[in-house]
A = this chain, B = another copy of it.
Amino acid sequence: MKLSTKGRYGIKAMVDLATEYESGEKLSIAQLSERQGISCAYLEQLIALLKKAGLVTAARGAQGGYTLARAPESISVGEVLKALEGSTALVDCVGTGGTDCENVCSCAARPLWLKLQRRIDDVLDSTTIKDMAEDYIVQREHTAGIEK
């Protein structure tokens, strides 16, 4: 029942990209990797997933980099997680893609999984990358203040 680093790192990268959305600045893998403390080569793969899902756009070549494909307030955390992990379903039989489980209607646990999944998706779908970026900026400034 753990979230993998894919999900965690990918979210962090998206939040970081969101902080540059207003200015339109691009961020390269190297920059993102540096700022978030994630391995370059690995991050590259995660960004590829986000790109495939149409969440970020890339500019190739020198001075290239990535930007958010849409406004951060229009991107939900759930959407990002889905792009990275394939699905946010805790149990296969409550995923959006239906189920292979043939005894759904005699499974004692299914009502619980459904309820649980609904709560999870509530949070995931109602939180946007912009919400997170705002928290992040506040935190960053606060930390900077302490270090002075």
Which A residues fall within an 8 A CB radius of B? 1-4, 7-8, 11-12, 15-16, 37, 77, 81, 85, 87-92, 103, 105-109, 111-113, 115-116, 119-120, 122-124, 127, 132-133, 135-136, 139-140, 143
> Mind listing 26 A-B residue pairs with CB under 8 Å?
A1-B1, A1-B4, A1-B85, A1-B87, A1-B88, A1-B89, A3-B90, A3-B91, A3-B113, A11-B108, A15-B108, A15-B109, A16-B108, A77-B112, A106-B139, A106-B140, A106-B143, A108-B133, A109-B132, A111-B132, A111-B135, A112-B123, A116-B120, A116-B123, A116-B124, A119-B123
Overall SS of chain A's interface: helix
